[in-house]
């Protein structure tokens, strides 16, 4: 089963993603900011990161920049999810190393489909049945 690391300072948001993604067959781990995210990312392997932008201590851009500079983590896909919806925010996310930019609040179906596709899986088990 694919492993996802959710990095967001809001516990509500983390719970929301967790429920959606567990439903879609992911194993979920959480971190409350970029620093904790890096620590977790170093200690076990993930198939995808979901990263918030604004977080205390270390924000999403910095987190992405760090993983893309680290050989063991550089190839792990990452989706940045933020409330900021300007073109410039997306450009900044892509410059920092995100593979996709989504705007909060995200639709459950959108998040599931994208996360599954990005981790190499077809339609969700529910859809395929």
Partner 1 sequence: MNPLLAQFIPEARDLLEQAGNGMLALERDAGSQSVINDVFRAVHTLKGSSGLFDVGPLTRLVHAAEDLLGEVRTGEIPLNSDIVDRLLDSLDLVGRWIDALETREALPSDAEATMTERVKVLRSWLAEPSTAGLDRATAPMTSVVTEVPDWLDRFPEADRMTAFKALSRPRLLAWSFEPDEDCFFRGDDPVAMLRHAPGILTLRAGPRAPFPTFDSMDPLSCLLRFEVLSDTTRAELDEHMRYVIERVDIREIASADLASPVGKAAGGPVFGDFGRLARQHLAGGDRTALERAVSTLLTMIAPASFQASALRWVQAHLSCHGLDRRGDLERLIAAVETGVLPPRSEHPAATSSAAEPAPSPTEGEAALHDTARTIAAEQIKVLKTPADPALAQGRLEAVATVLKNLADALGDSHMAAELPNAVTAFRQTGDLGPLQALVETLGEQRPEIPPPDRIAPSAAEPIPASSKPGAAVDEHGDVKALPRVLRVDQSKIDSIMNLVAELIVAKNGLSYLATRAEQVHGSRVVAREIKDQFAVIDRITQGLQVGVMAVRMMPVSQVFQRFPRLVRDISRKLGKKIELVIEGEDTEADKNVLESLADPLIHMVRNSLDHGIETPDERKAAGKPEQGVLKIVARQENDFVVIEVSDDGKGIDPLRVKAKALKLGLISPERAEQMNDGEAINLVFDAGLSTKEEVSDLSGRGVGMDVVRSAVIKAGGEVSLRSTLGAGTLVTVRLPLTMAVTRIVTIECRGRIFGIPMDHVVETVRVKREHIHRIKAMETFVLRDTIIPIARLARALRLPEVASDAQRDEEAVMVVKVGRERVGMVVDGFRERLEVIVKPLEGVLEGLPGFSGTALLGDGQVLLVLDLQEML
Verify cis geometry, omega within 30 degrees of 0, for the bond prior to 105.
yes
| Total residues interacting with partner 1, rule: CB under 8 A | 60
Kindly state whether residue 42 participates in binding partner 1, applying the rule CB under 8 A.
no
Q: Which of 19, 27, 42, 45 binds partner 1 (CB under 8 A)?
A: 19
Task: Indicate the SS3 state at residue 86.
Answer: coil
Shortest spacing between CB 118 and partner 1, in angstroms: 5
Q: Which of 34, 37, 60, 97 binds partner 1 (CB under 8 A)?
A: 97
Can you give the three-state secondary structure of 5-46, one letter per residue?
A: EEECCCHHHHHHHHHHHHHCCCEEEEECCHHHHHHHHHHCCC
Kindly state whether residue 33 participates in binding partner 1, applying the rule CB under 8 A.
no
81-to-88, 93, 108, 125 alpha-carbon distances in Å:
14, 10, 13, 24
Residues within the interface to partner 1 (CB under 8 A): 9-13, 15-16, 19-20, 23, 52, 54-56, 65, 67-71, 73-78, 83-87, 89, 91, 94-101, 104-109, 113-114, 116-123, 126-127, 129
């Amino acid at each position: 089963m694919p492993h996802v690391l959710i990095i967001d300072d809001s516990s509500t948001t983390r719970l929301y993603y967790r429920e959606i993604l567990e439903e879609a067959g992911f194993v979920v781990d959480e971190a409350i900011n970029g620093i904790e995210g890096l620590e977790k990312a170093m200690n076990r392997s993930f198939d995808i990161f979901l990263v918030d932008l604004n977080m205390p201590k270390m924000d999403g851009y910095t987190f992405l920049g760090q993983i893309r500079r680290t050989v063991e983590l550089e190839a792990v896909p990452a989706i940045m999810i933020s409330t900021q919806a300007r073109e410039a925010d997306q450009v900044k996310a892509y410059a920092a190393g995100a593979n996709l930019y989504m705007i909060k609040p995200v639709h459950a179906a959108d998040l599931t489909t994208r996360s599954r596709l990005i981790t190499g899986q077809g339609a969700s088990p529910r859809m395929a049945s």
